[in-house]
Structure 1
Amino acid sequence: MKQLMLSLALVVFAYVPASADSFSISGTTKDLPDGTMVYLRDYLLGKIIDSTQVINNTFYFDTQLPSYPREILILTAEGSDYRYLWVDNTAMTLDASQTGFREAVVTGSATEDLNHAHRQKVDAIADYDQMVEKEMEFAANHPESIISASILSVYQTFVGKERTQALYQRFTEAVKATAYGQQIEEFLRLAVEPKVGDRYVDFEMADTSGMPVQLSQLEGKVILLEFWASWCGPCRVANPRLIQTYEQYHGQGFEILAVSLDAKKASWTQAIAEDDLPWVHVSELVPQENTATLIYGVSGIPDNFLIGPDDTIIGRSLGSEALAAKLAELLSGPE
């Protein structure tokens, strides 16, 4: 009889409706000790918004968010088990009783149902370009879905301004008004995407001390506009050779302006110190909305633009040897 009453209690617990301005998640887990903390992280806000404890391999959230649908991350304290999902202001369930969070069965959110079906198709594609095409196909076929705006905001610099504009114009006004839609609108406003042979596009950004630096302050020199981050392995590996090139040609008018896509200042400045990088460094500490990456159409790092003394872009994505060869052509050589 006790077992029957407990089962009935769990059924009632699992389907407690969310209030009008909140959503709920009733979760079941597998082999998680009592007291294990489970957290909700808001993807847009970038912070933890709620937490609860696992009791008898169950947990429950009833949480308010600024808007719906909304993308969240549900995870355990150490981050070893997690799941991105879209929530509506409805009562939802997450069944991880047979799997971890990543393979859990989620019900109660029409937005997550659509997202999950799409993600299963995308995750089965190994080729990156084909995967992006599948993402763009979804955005084209679902102009009424916030998921489409979220996808396009991620790949806008990769697919370029023209294609982004075409997809964005098809979105409903409600989707354009979302935070993702506004990010795309900002990209379209800023994106110039200069190419080799074009004049560079100026911008202003703060250095490590918070002082504003403009690219135009370096006019008349040969400038390497370098995009990097502390977490970018290939960037860090290339730094010793870049230091050699800088020291060799700096006296002849070579300068580097490094734009970091770090989100945390401590990580950024620590990497500068560890790698002993002597050139000018700037960042906005908002990697997905970095002004320079939007202007220049940078979709991945490392990436760079070489700007000649006449303010014309003369190279892009130059590796160490190609950069050194180009500088040897432009400048008088080592001191």
Structure 2
Amino acid sequence: MQKLYIITLILLTGCKQVDNKFELSGTVIGDTDAIVVLIQAGQSRFDAETSPIIDGKFHITGSLEYPEEFSLMTEKSDQSIFNPLSIFIAPNDKIGIELNTKDIEKSIVKGSLVHDEFQQYLKIVDRYVEDLLDQLRDEYYTAEAINDTLKMREIEIQAAELKELKGQRAYKYIKNNPKSFVSAYSLYENKDLFDTKQVDELLSLLDKSLHNSKHIYDIVHADRNQPGKKASDFTLKDSQNNDITFSKFAKDKIVLMEFWASWCGPCRKANPKLEAIYQQYKGQGFEILGISQDRDIQVLQESIAKDQITWINLLDVKGINAVTRLYNYSSLPANILIDRNGIVVARNINIYNIENEIIKLLR
């Protein structure tokens, strides 16, 4: 554990330097007829850094104030589903990567202490639980196809138990690593798995230097848009370039706000299910409002047409005014359910529970 503290102290020192640039140099194993794309968590594909692949090699540079999570992937012009490598990058990192597009889990990352720490965290907290949740998700879709409601309910209970287990593991990790940027990341990512008392306890344990990071800043302001709170207002452009103000759109309606993007595989997979729900209940005062992380209206329009979705979609903006940040989300897909009075009812509802939550509000 002392090693983790030393790693983070090195990173903290690095963050105080004027030059906070990072550098990725690597080779691609597999299909090289593409570009390499690096996307910071919570940002759009259209804010990404990119590099051509020349003789099997790529090179990307950028700058950071604090360590951040990124997704690294290859991309072709006609591609819609991606399998990214999750990496953590710190200011001043010089990272060497062997990106294996045939089996992304076999990719090799060298030269980043914070990424090494992140991998340890994933082994302890995330991977076991997420793999089981993926299995349950597939089992649920199978049960749903044959309307096996008993099996569906059984899977829902199992999924809730696994999420509780993930919360317990994250809680223990943060307590044992209070000086780690990965702990700040974990607290933010798993905040919905903790009660208010636990969040306050973990915040008090974290090193004060971490409180300037965006993760902790957003946690401190996380009472915005929580269940029981009034949903924050905003105005964004829709897919036809019209201004849409949320408060006007949502007046006297039940609204499922769905955060997604054209490049998000799980988002695209969920769209047909969401469209079926929308068609079922839209005549009863229910609406879905998509908040897309795409920056290009044409790309969004093409995704809407391909997935045959008919609800209104808005394009989020970048940076401090992003609606994803306003609503405290950093990963996709995500959602929030709002009642007819504009009050947040629930956050991050499982795709297979959304319809039940809507029915409750329609009664």
Same-fold call, TM cutoff 0.5: yes
Which whole-Å CA distance do the structure 1 matches of 2:219 and 2:294 have between them? 23
Which whole-Å CA distance do the structure 1 matches of 2:195 and 2:60 have between them? 40
Seen in structure 2, the aligned counterparts of structure 1 residues 95 and 81 have a Cα distance that, compared at 3 Å, is: same
* 1:86 aligned partner, one-letter code: F
Matched, 1:193 2:197: no
* 1:227 aligned partner, one-letter code: M
Paired residue secondary structure (1:204): coil
* 1:84 aligned partner, one-letter code: S
Paired residue secondary structure (1:187): coil
Contact kept in structure 2, 1:38 and 1:75, CA below 8 Å: yes
Q: How does 1:183-262 map to 2 (within 5 A)?
A: 183-188=218-223, 190=224, 192-194=226-228, 201=230, 203-206=232-235, 208=238, 209-214=242-247, 218=251, 223-228=253-258, 231=267, 232-233=270-271, 234-244=273-283, 246=284, 255-256=285-286, 258-262=288-292
Which whole-Å CA distance do the structure 2 matches of 1:327 and 1:98 have between them? 46
| TM-aligned CA deviation for residue 306 of structure 1 | 4.3
Give % identity: 10
* 1:164 aligned partner, one-letter code: V
- What's the TM-score once normalised by structure 1's chain length? 0.63
Seen in structure 2, the aligned counterparts of structure 1 residues 283 and 140 have a Cα distance that, compared at 3 Å, is: farther
Which whole-Å CA distance do the structure 2 matches of 1:108 and 1:257 have between them? 47
Which whole-Å CA distance do the structure 2 matches of 1:313 and 1:20 have between them? 42
Give the structure 1 partner of residue 89 of structure 2.
87
Match of 1:142 among 177, 192, 202: 177
* 1:236 aligned partner, one-letter code: E
Contact kept in structure 2, 1:261 and 1:283, CA below 8 Å: yes
Which whole-Å CA distance do the structure 2 matches of 1:119 and 1:99 have between them? 21
Contact kept in structure 2, 1:258 and 1:282, CA below 8 Å: no
| TM-aligned CA deviation for residue 130 of structure 1 | 1.9
**Aligned-residue RMSD, C-alpha:** 4.5
Contact kept in structure 2, 1:82 and 1:101, CA below 8 Å: yes
Which whole-Å CA distance do the structure 2 matches of 1:191 and 1:170 have between them? 25
Higher helix content, 1 or 2: 2
Which whole-Å CA distance do the structure 1 matches of 2:276 and 2:202 have between them? 37
Which whole-Å CA distance do the structure 1 matches of 2:360 and 2:101 have between them? 58
* 2:127 aligned partner, one-letter code: D
- What's the TM-score once normalised by structure 2's chain length? 0.59
Question: Structure 1 residues 63-72 or 103-112, which shifts more?
Answer: 63-72
Seen in structure 2, the aligned counterparts of structure 1 residues 242 and 173 have a Cα distance that, compared at 3 Å, is: same
Cα deviation code 1:241-261 (max 9, x no counterpart): 2034x1xxxxxxxx5565534
| TM-aligned CA deviation for residue 123 of structure 1 | 0.8
* 1:118 aligned partner, one-letter code: Y
Q: How does 1:24-103 map to 2 (within 5 A)?
A: 24-33=23-32, 37-43=35-41, 45-46=43-44, 47-55=47-55, 57=56, 59=57, 61=59, 63-78=61-76, 82-88=84-90, 89-96=92-99, 100-103=103-106
Give the structure 2 partner of residue 110 of structure 1.
113
Structure 1: gaps of 5 or more residues: 1-18, 195-199, 247-254, 329-335
Give the structure 2 partner of residue 174 of structure 1.
209
Give the structure 1 partner of residue 138 of structure 2.
none
Q: Return the index of the structure with the highest Cα Rg.
A: 1
Contact kept in structure 2, 1:36 and 1:54, CA below 8 Å: no
* 1:205 aligned partner, one-letter code: F
Cα deviation code 1:307-331 (max 9, x no counterpart): 57xx999999897688668756xxx
Structure 2: gaps of 5 or more residues: 1-17, 133-161, 261-266
| TM-aligned CA deviation for residue 76 of structure 1 | 1.8
Contact kept in structure 1, 2:336 and 2:346, CA below 8 Å: no
Seen in structure 2, the aligned counterparts of structure 1 residues 213 and 106 have a Cα distance that, compared at 3 Å, is: closer
Question: Structure 1 residues 111-120 or 139-148, which shifts more?
Answer: 139-148
Which whole-Å CA distance do the structure 2 matches of 1:49 and 1:152 have between them? 27
Give the structure 2 partner of residue 304 of structure 1.
337
Give the structure 1 partner of residue 15 of structure 2.
none
The higher-RCO structure (CA 8 Å, 6+ apart) is 2
Seen in structure 2, the aligned counterparts of structure 1 residues 136 and 261 have a Cα distance that, compared at 3 Å, is: farther
Figure out how many residues of one structure are paired with residues of the other and give that number.
279
Contact kept in structure 2, 1:205 and 1:282, CA below 8 Å: no
